[in-house]
Each structure stands twice: as C-alpha cells, then as structure tokens.
C-alpha cells in the first residue's frame, strides 16, 4: 500500500534505538525525510547513517536531551516545520511510589507529558496552515492498565493522554491528527531495565522473568520495533486521516478487556 507520505518531513524523537528507531525506519521506508534525536551522539549518528543508506532519504541527527528546553530548541531548529511529529523519550524508572521524590515526579512529567505537549504546541500551527499533519505519541499500555512498579509512568503518561484527548478533537477538522501508540512488551533495551527490577523483587533470574512474561502473553512473544514502527507509519499515512485521538494498544493481546 502506498502510504502517500513520500517527501514529507518527520521529527522523530528518541529514535537511535528501540521503538523510536522502529518508527523512524518505517517512515523512511515510505520515503519520509527525517530529523532524529537521542542523547548519545555516536549511536544516533550510526542509526542516521544506516537509515540513509538503507532507504535513501535525508536524515539529520540532532544529539540532545529532548526533555529539556535546550533539547526542544535544538530539535526544532533542525526541523521547524515537520509534517509528522513522533513524540518519544526514555521512560521513568521503576520503584515503590513511597520512594518517588518530587524531583523524580518532575522529571517524569517533563519527559513523558510536558515535552510532547511543548513540541505539539510549537509545530501544530504550521501543520494546520499546510492542511496536513500527523502527530503520534509513544506512551504505554500503562495508561490503560497500570503497571505496579511504574507509578511514575502510569501517572505522567495519563496526563498526556488526557491532554491529547482534548486537543486532537479541537484540530480534527484541519487535516491534523493526533493519536497515541501504547506499547505492551517490546524487546528493547528499555524492558531489560524493567525485567531487572522484577527479577530483583521476585528473587529470580532475569531469564526466568523473560520466559514467564513471554509465556503469559496471548501472542506468546514480545513485540519487535519493526511491527511497532509499521503501525506508526500507517497512522502517519494519508489513509489514517479519520483516526483521531485514539489510544492504540500494541500488546500481543495482553490487555484482557473486551473493549
């Protein structure tokens, strides 16, 4: 299927690895030119070079912490008028909520709520003026079903979800869509951290946690960033213009609800 977005420009945040990279690759495969960000310049440049040579699109790498005002400025200086914005950042650390300090809450809010809102605020009017825009926020299945050790994620991402529910409908008639993608368990560096915390809490090996978690999923396996990215590319396509303000779970069937 032709996604109809070749030649568009996307800002994909936190995209040197994992789910962000999956989205960047899938958009590049559709002919979208990219600006990608991550903090570690070396990994980011290597990802940019790999995407450039694989798909022949323009890829600019901006090494910055996307959760800071300096990071917002650097990303937007390189990509002031994106047609597509994929919001992503690292997830907050796991732990017992009693140990979450005010500073930890502020960091989680900056990363997983306020940064996406700021980047939406600073790019959406250009999209509206041009009559086309796609905004996809990578959140988490934790906004639908909380994960006990991830209180910071449950809380901060729910704040973003509430904001998006309102603004997505406000701009729905302008050709701009905003949706959230909710990953369940994907095999990236990020889940290794979660598994480590669970192994420690349950006093078992990390391999055992991995095996148990995979077995417990209806799909019997973890997701991979490529299939996540392809869903993102579809949401960014011309065919997805009537999908507005949705929270789309990609979780191998883990969420047990009928609706």
Binding site for ligand NAP (CB under 6 A): 14-20, 37-40, 43, 65-67, 88-91, 138, 140, 183, 185-186, 188-191
Q: What single DSSP character describes residue 228?
A: H
Closer of 90 and 171 to ligand NAP (Cβ): 90
Please say which residue, 174 or 246, places its beta carbon nearer to ligand NAP: 246
User: In this complex, which beta carbon is closest to ligand NAP, that of residue 37 or of residue 161?
Assistant: 37
CB of 189 to ligand NAP, least distance (A): 4
Rg (CA), the chain: 18
Q: Least Å distance between CB 243 and ligand NAP? A: 20
Query: Distance between CA atoms of 95 and 198, rounded to whole angstroms?
Result: 10
Q: How far is the CB of 180 from ligand NAP (least distance, A)?
A: 11
Pick the closer one to ligand NAP by CB: 23 or 127: 23
Distance between CA 64 and CA 48 in Å, rounded?
Answer: 14
Distance CA 113, CA 248 (A): 17
* Contact status, residue 153 vs residue 142, Cβ threshold 8 Å: yes
Whole-number Å distance between alpha carbons of 17 and 3: 24
Residue placing its CB nearer to ligand NAP in the complex, 142 or 171? 142
CB of 168 to ligand NAP, least distance (A): 20
DSSP 210: H
CA–CA dist 88, 71 (Å, integer): 13
- The residue to which tokens 């945040």 are assigned: 13
Q: Is the CB of 39 or the CB of 144 nearer to ligand NAP?
A: 39
**What one-character DSSP code corresponds to residue 7?**
T
Cβ proximity to ligand NAP, 91 vs 151, nearer residue: 91
Joined together, the tokens standing for residue 224 give 């991979």
Nearest distance from residue 161's CB to ligand NAP, in Å?
Answer: 13
Report, in Å, the least distance between residue 96 CB and ligand NAP.
18
Instruction: Please name the residues in contact with 42: beta carbons below 8 A apart, sequence gap of 6 or more.
Output: none
Concatenated DSSP letters for 92-158?
A: PPP--GGG--HHHHHHHHIIIIIHHHHHHHHHHHHHHHHT-EEEEEE--GGGTS--TT-HHHHHHHH
Q: What is the nearest approach in angstroms of ligand NAP to the Cβ of residue 256? A: 17
């Amino acid at each position: 299927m032709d996604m109809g977005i070749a030649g568009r420009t996307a800002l994909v945040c936190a995209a040197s690895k994992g789910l962000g990279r999956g989205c960047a690759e899938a958009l590049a495969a559709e002919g979208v030119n990219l600006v990608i960000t991550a903090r570690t310049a070396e990994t980011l440049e290597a990802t940019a070079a790999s995407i450039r040579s694989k798909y022949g699109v323009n890829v600019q790498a901006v090494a910055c912490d996307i959760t800071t005002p300096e990071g917002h400025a650097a990303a937007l200086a390189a990509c002031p008028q994106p047609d597509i914005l994929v919001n992503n950042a690292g997830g907050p650390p796991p732990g017992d909520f009693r140990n979450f300090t005010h500073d930890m809450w502020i960091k989680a809010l900056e990363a997983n709520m306020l940064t996406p809102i700021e980047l939406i605020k600073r790019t959406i009017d250009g999209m509206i003026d041009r009559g086309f825009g796609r905004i996809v926020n990578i959140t988490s299945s934790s906004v639908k079903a909380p994960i006990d050790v991830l209180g910071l994620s449950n809380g901060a991402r729910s704040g973003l979800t509430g904001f998006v529910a309102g603004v997505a409908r406000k701009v729905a008639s302008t050709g701009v869509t905003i949706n959230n993608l909710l990953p369940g368990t994907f095999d990236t560096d990020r889940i290794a951290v979660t598994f480590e915390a669970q192994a420690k809490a349950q006093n078992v090996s990390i391999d055992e946690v991995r095996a148990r978690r995979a077995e417990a999923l209806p799909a019997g396996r973890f997701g991979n960033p490529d299939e996540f990215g392809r869903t993102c590319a579809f949401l960014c396509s011309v065919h997805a213009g009537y999908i507005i303000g949705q929270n789309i779970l990609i979780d191998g069937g883990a969420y047990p609800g009928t609706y």
